[in-house]
Structure 1
Amino acid sequence: MKKLIDIRNGKGEVDDIDHLGNRRIRSVGEMAENQFRVGLVRVERAVKERLSLGDLDTLMPQDMINAKPISAAVKEFFGSSQLSQFMDQNNPLSEITHKRRISALGPGGLTRERAGFEVRDVHPTHYGRVCPIETPEGPNIGLINSLSVYAQTNEYGFLETPYRKVTDGVVTDEIHYLSAIEEGNYVIAQANSNLDEEGHFVEDLVTCRSKGESSLFSRDQVDYMDVSTQQWYPSVRP
């Protein structure tokens, strides 16, 4: 109750379901693993039925275990799943783009009919992780996107983007990949900020992002800097 009162009075933060810190990527391997597990459950059920009907003294392991349910489950996933597609092989660039495409549709995801404007809109945490431009028109707009050029997923499935570490006011070549939650704890300068030969910021006030908002910060407050002005671009640009 105290937490709700504090939020009502403007204290604390409210969870944002569209924040990329609350959304993770389910890889093809993870979904194939779940489908393989479904096949194993079917095999287990078939073995139990066979044991309840047959003579245990004459049964052999090969008589009880049949791999067809597993094979059928995997074929079902790759053959008829909503997320299963033929790879776009018109040219090498379209192939690369297709491999880095992400979708909010499919099993456990959203539907075109129920997805509102908020989930389709560009979120500040998409910067450097999800391209704000490359999305189809029509009912799938905002639901099917592409990863940005430098984006990657960490071991937990959360999207990360690289930044140059700023140490004692000096922009170094040390690269750190930050998730959307981690990024919110730092002040990040733009890649086109003016630097001297030693890597110090020229201006006293630097345009930076912090907690999803852009503002001017003292150069001593800067923690990271974008690696490139093209950081938010798609994997392949025309």
Structure 2
Amino acid sequence: MSGRWFNYEDSLKNMPATFDRYVQRYINGELCQLLDQNNSLSEISHKRKITFYGPKGLSKDYRGFGKRDVHYSHYGRICLVETPESEKIGLTLHFATHARIEGGQIKTLYVPTDQTNAKLCYLNPSEEENTAILPYSDDNEVNKNQYFARRGKDGMIRLYNKSKAHYQDAYPSQCIGLAAALVPFIQHDDANRVLWVQKTLNSLFPFYILKGLWSRQDLKKK
């Protein structure tokens, strides 16, 4: 048998150094962060965070506006509200409530308008370009043949014939993230107020199993 024997003793001696090298690589990476476990909401929001920074991304010195703008393809895929109030505004974002990644693309959930095929489906931006999408609403109908719908190609809302609208939003909170969806009457609030409230919810959202307060103020006794 040719070749040399594999030296298990040497491999075991080198294992700690190899392990430490890979651990340090991930710990010191730009995209590696400690998980926010303040409560269940903040943990889920942290896991659904995405960013333009990192390897092959934008540098931390980026101060432009082009990448921060909202694109029509963000609808149903990226939360339109939740973003930091700092130089990272518009560059660190969160997934929408019903968005998921398939094949390296962000997809969102829709309901086919065809009554014979009521199965929910996930679409990427290119798959919804050639159709009109109805919003989630019970009183969306203008007359028997026309509806207000959003065109997938550019996001413009227009009147369309019923035959042109092949999909409908699956949920009313589809265009926002989980924290923003918990804001009461969000459709009537100012965007700045919604941004502030959802950040407060991430800090104050209660645990599933409530426990006694560690500290109590005199006003709470009253």
Output aligned runs, 1:222-233, within 5 Å: 222-233=165-176
Kindly report the root-mean-square deviation, in angstroms, between the aligned alpha carbons of the 2 structures: 2.4
How far apart are residue 193 of structure 1 and its match?
5.1
* C-alpha spacing 1:89/1:99, structure 2 compared with 1 (3 Å): same
Mapping of residues 11-50 of structure 1, within 5 Å: none
Contact 2:150 2:158 in 1 (8 A): yes
Shift of residue 114 of structure 1?
2.9
Give the aligned residue type for 1:190: P
Is the aligned partner of 1:157 residue 2:98? no
- Assess if the C-alpha contact under 8 Å between 2:142 and 2:148 holds in 1: no
Give the length in aligned residue pairs.
175
**Residue-by-residue CA offset, 1:165-217 (whole Å, 9 max, x unaligned):** 122xx48632110011111122211111537xxxx985422111221222211
Q: Which residue of 2 aligns with 1:94?
A: 42
Output the CA distance in 2 between the equivalents of 1:205 and 1:98.
41
Shift of 1:113: 2.3
Match of 1:103 in 2: 51
Summarize the Cα distance change of 1:171–1:224 in structure 2 as closer, same or farther, 3 Å threshold: farther
Q: Cα offset for 1:231?
A: 0.6
Runs ≥4 residues deviating over 2 A: 59-70, 112-116, 170-173, 200-204
Per-residue deviation, 1:77: 3.0
CA distance in 2, matches of 1:105, 1:117: 15
**Cα distance 1:78–1:223, how it changes in 2: closer, same or farther (>3 A)?**
same
Q: How does 1:50-89 map to 2 (within 5 A)?
A: 60-62=6-8, 65=11, 66-68=14-16, 70-89=18-37
Query: In the alignment, which residue of structure 2 is the partner of 1:53?
Result: none
TM-score, with normalisation over the residues of structure 2? 0.70
The alpha-carbon distance between structure 1 residues 78 and 125, as it changes in their structure 2 partners (threshold 3 A), is same
Paired residue type of 2:147: V
Percent of counterpart pairs with the same letter? Answer: 30
- The answer to whether 1:221 aligns with 2:168 is no
| Cα pair distance change 1:173/1:73, threshold 3 Å | farther
Matched, 1:166 2:113: yes
Is the CA contact 2:100–2:107 (under 8 Å) kept in the aligned structure 1?
yes
Q: Which residue of 1 aligns with 2:215?
A: none
Any stretches of 5+ residues in structure 1 without a counterpart?
A: 1-55
* CA–CA separation in structure 2 for the residues paired with 1:216 and 1:201: 9
Give unpaired runs (5+ residues) of structure 2: 184-222
Aligned to 1:182: 127
Structure 2 vs 1, CA of residues 73 and 158 (structure 1 numbering), >3 Å: closer, same or farther?
Answer: farther
Partner of 1:207: 148
Tell me if structure 1 keeps the 8 A contact 2:110–2:122. yes
Q: 2-side partners of 1:128 and 1:73: how far apart?
A: 39
* Structure 2 match to 1:47: none
Code of the residue aligned with 1:165 in structure 2: it is P
TM-score by length of 1: 0.66
CA contact (8 A) 2:63 2:87 kept: no
Residues 30-65 of structure 1 show CA distances to partners (whole Å, capped at 9, x for unaligned) of xxxxxxxxxxxxxxxxxxxxxxxxxx86x6433664
1:128 counterpart = 2:76:
yes
Distance 1:201 1:152, change over 3 A: farther
Q: Distance in 1 between matches of 2:74 and 2:65?
A: 16
Match of 2:92 in 1: 144
